[in-house]
Amino acid sequence: MTGSASPRTLFDKVWDAHVVVQREDGQCLLWIDRHFLHEGSFHAFDKLAARGAELARPDLTFGIEDHYVPTRERDLDRIDPAIRGMIVQLRGNAGRHRLRLFGLDDPGQGIVHVVGPEQGLTLPGLTMVCGDSHTATHGAFGALAFGIGASEVAHVLMTQTLWQKRPKRLRITVDGALAPGIAAKDIALSIIAAIGADGAAGHAIEYAGSTIRALSMEGRLTLCNLSIEAGGRCGMVAPDETTLAYLRGRPYAPRDAAFDRAAADWLALASDGDAIFDREIALDAGRIAPTVTWGTSPEDALPITMSVPDPERAGDEGRAAHIREALAYMGLRPGQRLEDVTIDRVFIGSCTNSRIEDLRAAAAILAGRKARVPGLVSPGSAQVKRQAEEEGLDRIFTEAGLDWVAAGCSMCVGMNGDLVPPGERCASTTNRNFRGRQGPGSRTHLMSPAMAAAAAVTGRLTDMRPLMQGRG
Amino acid sequence: MQAFTRLSGRACPLPLTGVDTDQLIPARFMKRSRAEGYGGYLLHDLRFDAAGEPLPGFALNQPERQGAEVLVSRRNFGSGSSREAAVYALVDYGFRCVVAPSFGDIFAANAVNNGLLPAQVSDEDGEALLAALAEGARDIVVDLAEQRIILGNLSCGFAIDPVWRTKLLHGWDDIDLTLSHVQAIADFVAADRERRSWAQPGRPEGA
């Protein structure tokens, strides 16, 4: 731990507290406080078995069934055996190594990046890893959370540590009031459009400013989730009273006097006033519009009021080539108004936008209205599902004609069989619009839950604000 | 892990920006065992049509590109997911190096952990290499010790993190290095328990 008196950022404070060994060449061996595993972890467990190695810290390791779980029905005997095999493999590995597994019938089950915060497993000041790039989500609590590959997963399983090179630090400050209906998803897509899908490469992002302070924890989770889509190593928000209020009483969080002691340490993690960042970017919240993607990268995002770009007007040949390829794949024409783009399906779910506030935002648009297209609403966890049903949100979705299903990664990545058919255009609250992401030949348009709901109502990409008139 | 020092082989161009991990290996193949080899899934939906027939226009399918060991592409190669399967697909296909102006951070780390060299070139040099390949250049040399690429009469340097360069040159795995620090880890854990007593997961009520 450094005894240096020089000012430090939130990222510096959390990083420094976890350095076990620092080598001359700058590589650091970091202690890992939380390790989450999903069904994709079989490669890592195979490496463990090949070495005859033991799991170092089962108490810090948590398994979740999310990527492959069926959402329309939960009986594993009735699903594709190859998909069932992925879940069975995780159960075998979890049982062998005696780690807590949130299986698909567990009342705490859901998408890993929804469950961690809900259960109080995610805390400020922790290092958290998982074999999933959207692990950055947990940074909303001021944790240092990032995705890792299978070899690194195996390394953490065996040693509870990870070698890392210290990234640079980027602060993105957003100030001002958001216009009505504008959500964290719109902030995130606007950032990615501004700096590019690799704009934050090699950097840990800290989100700061009055707009960020005003976001709920769920809004911060959405924002941090998309850090990876800007190329960021991770994304963090300094803990504050909003964070503490969320965490009090969560199952795995500290309690009573221990909570109060922790809270003091957590609040002290905020960046020092005179801390220096390697790079700074500022955005004006008032300029952020409802945003949708039109292309095959999250950076292909524009306000709903605009039109599909023209490759002839692109800045360079690489960008022009990308626009041409994207328009050909997405079946769009240069200059086509985004509000004229029809959609075939809607998906409300994923680790980006499947929490209770997301469902409320979508339900506020859909209440008393019908969807013109088929769609799926997958709450982020069993807990979110229960709460949504208590609030009657499920009935709003089903009366609109959408399917209300169980929790899982579902149509975001389609590993469980929830796919968008070839050629179909899907208005999706997810995080990636890569070619074929939601199924071969599928066309994804990313947007906020309210925007996805509006698209469902009109059957095309739509500005949700007029549909909010007269509604809470 | 196989060491990488100097490779003399065939190059294949992939003049696409942001070749993401969903292109490198579509998710539906990730249930398969690694034992089968993932090479057949590399860039599957760009390589094959819906019927599974090779698309003749795609670089990897061209006769002169068979046996390629070096892939040359554009910025933000390997953006997206942490799926190490994206690297397995490249390595099992036969690639030992990818040359591009930039890489997804997680992909690059995964590549190094599997002996695949992510060689970073400037935008200009990247475009020059692609232009030469489009004109028929084929045989390439990638020298990790010198950090140099030679293609026909083009010669350019490339960047690689020095720690990664050492790892690749020696074929080292992280785990053996870590096991030499077992005492430091134990010391850290003991001190940390005092410093951050709140960091342990609590016990849910009733558990």
Task: Count Cβ–Cβ pairs < 8 Å, chain A vs chain B.
Answer: 182
Question: Which of residues 96 through 155 in chain B touch A, CB cutoff 8 A?
Answer: 102, 104-106, 109-110, 113-114, 123
| Residue A99 token pair | 């780690």
Strand residues in A184-323 grouped as ranges (E): 203-208, 234-236, 279-284, 291-293, 301-303
Please report, as a single letter, which amino acid is at residue B201.
P
Find all residues with CB under 8 Å of B79, minimum gap 6, and list them.
A197, A198, A231, A297, B18, B19, B20, B21, B104, B107
CB distance A159–B82 less than 8 Å?
A: no
CA angle at residue A193 from A407 to A190, to 5 degrees?
65
| Contact with chain A for residue B204, Cβ under 8 A | yes
Neighbours of B189 (CB within 10 A): 14
Residues B63-68, mean pLDDT to the nearest whole number: 95
Beta-ladder partners of A235 = A205
Paired sense of beta strands A301-303 and A291-293, if any: antiparallel
**A46 has a chain B CB within 8 A of its CB:** yes
pLDDT in tens, B148-164: 999 999 999 999 999 99
Interface residue B8 vs chain A (CB under 8 A): no
B206 touches chain A (CB under 8 A): no
* Interchain contact, B163 vs A155, CB within 8 Å: no
A239 touching B (Cβ < 8 Å): no
Q: Are A157 and A44 in contact (CB under 8 A)?
A: yes
Q: DSSP readout, B146-206?
A: TTEEEETTEEEE-B--HHHHHHHHHT--HHHHHHTTHHHHHHHHHHHHHHTGGGS----TT
Structure confidence at residue B2 (pLDDT): 85
| pLDDT reported for residue B54 | 96
* CA closest to A324 among chain B residues: B16
Please enumerate in sequence order all residues whose Cβ is within 8 A of that of A275, keeping only pairs 6 or more positions apart, or say none: A7, A8, A9, A12
Residue A27 in tokens = 């590589």
Per-residue confidence in pLDDT tens, chain A, 472 aa: 455 579 999 999 999 999 999 988 889 999 999 999 999 999 999 999 999 999 999 999 999 999 999 999 999 999 999 999 999 999 999 999 999 999 999 999 999 999 999 999 999 999 999 999 999 999 999 999 999 999 999 999 999 999 999 999 999 999 999 999 999 999 999 999 999 999 999 999 999 999 999 999 999 999 999 999 999 999 999 999 999 999 999 999 999 999 999 999 999 999 999 999 999 999 999 999 999 999 999 999 999 999 999 999 998 888 899 999 999 999 999 999 999 999 999 999 999 999 999 999 999 999 999 999 999 999 999 999 999 999 999 999 999 999 999 999 999 999 999 999 999 999 999 999 999 999 999 999 999 999 999 999 999 999 999 999 988 6
Rounded to an integer, what is the distance from CA B14 to the centroid of its chain? 14
C-alpha dihedral (A269, A271, A272, A274), degrees to nearest 10: 170
**Position of tokens 């008032």?**
A286
Cβ within 8 Å, pair A415-B17 = no
For B67: left if phi > 0, alpha if psi spans -120 to 50, otherwise beta; the answer is left
Q: Residue B34 and residue B22: Cα distance in Å, rounded? A: 17
Touching check for B200 and chain A: CB below 8 Å? Answer: yes
Percent of residues, chain B, with pLDDT higher than 90: 92
Q: Establish if A154 touches chain B: CB-CB under 8 angstroms.
A: yes
For residue B206, the model assigns a pLDDT of 64
pLDDT number for residue A189? 98
pTM here is 0.97
Is the ipTM higher than 0.90? The answer is: yes
Chain B: closest CA distance from residue A362 (Å)? 27
**Can you read off the two tokens belonging to residue A2?**
């450094």
Mean pLDDT along residues B1-22: 95
In the block, which residue shows the tokens 């410093």?
A: B195
Confirm or reject contact between B55 and chain A (CB < 8 A).
no
Average pLDDT taken over every residue of chain B: 95
Q: Is the separation of the CB atoms in A144 and A238 below 8 Å?
A: no
Among A29, A133, A440, beta carbon nearest to B80:
A133
Q: Which residues of A234-251 are buried (b: 16+ CB within 10 A; e: fewer)?
A: bbbbbbeebbbebbeebb
Nearest CB neighbour to B178, from listed A17, A29, A68 = A29
**Least CB–CB distance from A149: residue in B76, B82, B185:** B82
Which three-class secondary structure state does DSSP give residue A445?
A: strand
pLDDT of B137 > 70? The answer is: yes
Return the beta strands (E) in A32-91 as ranges. Answer: 34-37, 61-64
Strands (E), A370-418: 375-377, 403-404
